[in-house]
């Protein structure tokens, strides 16, 4: 079912992820290619409520494919979760002559998109943009691959100095609810052990791993930890220190540097493909769905599934992590 699309609004929302600019570029240029007006909405849903939006042409998105962050800026917007906020947003949506909305973000972004789409019968397509990779319906999210490279690049540097005896390096990475970054980044970095939320925080497992490493003659070890509460890794270090009073322990907290940086080629291509798919999906009548890439093919998943279903950690990777830390 081909739908007449004359004007499409797009926004980025939630936490930044590398590749968001590549997605914006792809949406804008695909609109230009098909003769559709693209309208960039600033600061996520807040900009829709505040009527901060501008038409964007093909030249407006030049030289952004390689930039971290998002030229449309992003925000978390509480007001949009109230009916009043969404009503104001819809008012602006109509007065600007928009036919549809493309939102780039994560869970929270998609929840807002569903509400908006259902309440006002507005065609909406979501693109998964988050470094956490915790979205169902796509093999990877935009930004995840870049963040993994940032993590291993940081740990490679720590590894250079990890030659003294009895030294433990703790590296806290993002992922409060999801261990993708820690698990894959930890395997990629050759970590001795990886502590992820899915596995809870079993320090006895860590102690066993460290004991094995010590017996195997490892002079020092790197432990990757998913962020928990603030100062979380320091609490863990405190407890490990009680168990190994002679070890020298050092901490790195990567923090927000994981959200930035030039996107990897893989993230740029992913963002480009999904940006094209979002526009052409709307033209073909898609709505209330997220565009993702599974097994190399674009697939559309209902936003309700993207939000509710879990993107599960592959248990095989936990096994592999154990084997390779032998």
Site for its own copies in 21-80 (CB under 8 A): 25-26, 29-30, 32-33, 58-59, 62-63, 65-70, 73-75
Ranges assigned E (strand) in the chain:
7-12, 37-41, 53-56, 100-105, 124-128, 167-173, 193-195, 220-226, 248-253, 289-294, 297-302
**CA–CA separation, 82 vs 49, rounded Å?**
11
Pick the closer one to its own copies by CB: 115 or 257.
Answer: 257
Residue 322 structure tokens: 């154990």
Write down the catalytic residue from 50, 60, 99, 132: 132
Residues 6+ apart with CB under 8 A from 77: 13, 43, 44, 45, 46, 49, 85, 112
Known binder of ligand: residue 219? Answer: yes
Q: Cβ 156 to its own copies, closest distance in Å?
A: 5
Question: 150: closest CA among 250, 19, 54?
Answer: 19
Residue 20 structure tokens: 């968001």
Name the helix (H) or strand (E) containing 245.
Answer: none
* Pairing mode of beta strands 167-173, 297-302: unpaired
- Asked whether position 180 contacts its own copies by CB under 8 A, the answer is no
Strand-by-strand arrangement of the 7-12 sheet: 53-56, 37-41, 7-12, 100-105, 124-128, 289-294, 297-302
Site for its own copies in 228-267 (CB under 8 A): 231, 234, 250-262, 264-266
Q: Cβ 22 to its own copies, closest distance in Å?
A: 8
Pick the closer one to its own copies by CB: 162 or 203.
Answer: 162
- Asked whether position 189 contacts its own copies by CB under 8 A, the answer is yes
Known binder of ligand: residue 132? Answer: yes
Site for its own copies in 282-311 (CB under 8 A): 294-296
**CA–CA separation, 303 vs 103, rounded Å?**
11
- Asked whether position 109 contacts its own copies by CB under 8 A, the answer is no
Site for its own copies in 112-171 (CB under 8 A): 139, 145, 148-165, 169
Q: Cβ 106 to its own copies, closest distance in Å?
A: 14
267 is catalytic: no
Q: Cβ 189 to its own copies, closest distance in Å?
A: 7
Known binder of ligand: residue 130? Answer: yes
Pick the closer one to its own copies by CB: 2 or 296.
Answer: 296
Binding residues for Mg(2+): 107
């Amino acid at each position: 079912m081909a739908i007449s699309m004359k004007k499409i609004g797009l926004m980025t929302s939630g936490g930044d992820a590398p590749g968001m600019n590549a997605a914006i570029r792809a949406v804008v240029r695909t609109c230009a290619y098909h003769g559709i007006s693209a309208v960039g909405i600033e600061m996520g849903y807040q900009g829709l409520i505040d009527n901060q939006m501008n038409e964007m042409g093909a030249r407006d998105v030049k030289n952004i494919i390689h930039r971290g962050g998002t030229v449309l800026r992003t925000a978390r917007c509480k007001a949009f979760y109230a009916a009043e906020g969404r009503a104001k947003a819809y008012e602006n949506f109509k007065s600007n002559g928009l036919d549809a909305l493309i939102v780039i973000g994560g869970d929270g972004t998609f929840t807002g998109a569903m509400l908006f789409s259902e309440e006002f019968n507005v065609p909406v397509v979501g693109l998964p943009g988050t470094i956490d990779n915790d979205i169902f319906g796509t093999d990877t999210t935009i930004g995840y691959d870049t963040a993994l490279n940032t993590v291993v690049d940081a740990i490679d540097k720590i590894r250079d100095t990890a030659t003294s005896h009895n030294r433990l390096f703790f590296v806290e990475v993002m992922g409060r609810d999801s261990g993708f970054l820690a698990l894959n980044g930890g395997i990629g970095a050759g970590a001795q052990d990886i502590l992820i939320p899915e596995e809870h925080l079993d320090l006895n497992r860590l102690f066993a791993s460290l004991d094995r490493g010590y017996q195997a003659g490892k002079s020092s070890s790197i432990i990757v930890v998913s962020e928990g509460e603030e100062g979380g890794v320091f609490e863990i270090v405190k407890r490990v220190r009680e168990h190994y009073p002679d070890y020298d322990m050092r901490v790195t907290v990567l923090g927000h540097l994981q959200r930035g940086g030039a996107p990897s080629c893989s993230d740029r291509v992913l963002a480009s493909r999904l940006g094209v798919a979002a526009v052409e999906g709307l033209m073909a009548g898609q709505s209330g769905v997220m565009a993702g890439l599974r097994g190399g093919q674009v697939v559309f998943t209902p936003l309700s599934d993207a939000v509710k279903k879990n993107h599960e950690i592959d248990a095989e990777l936990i096994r592999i992590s154990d084997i390779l830390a032998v």
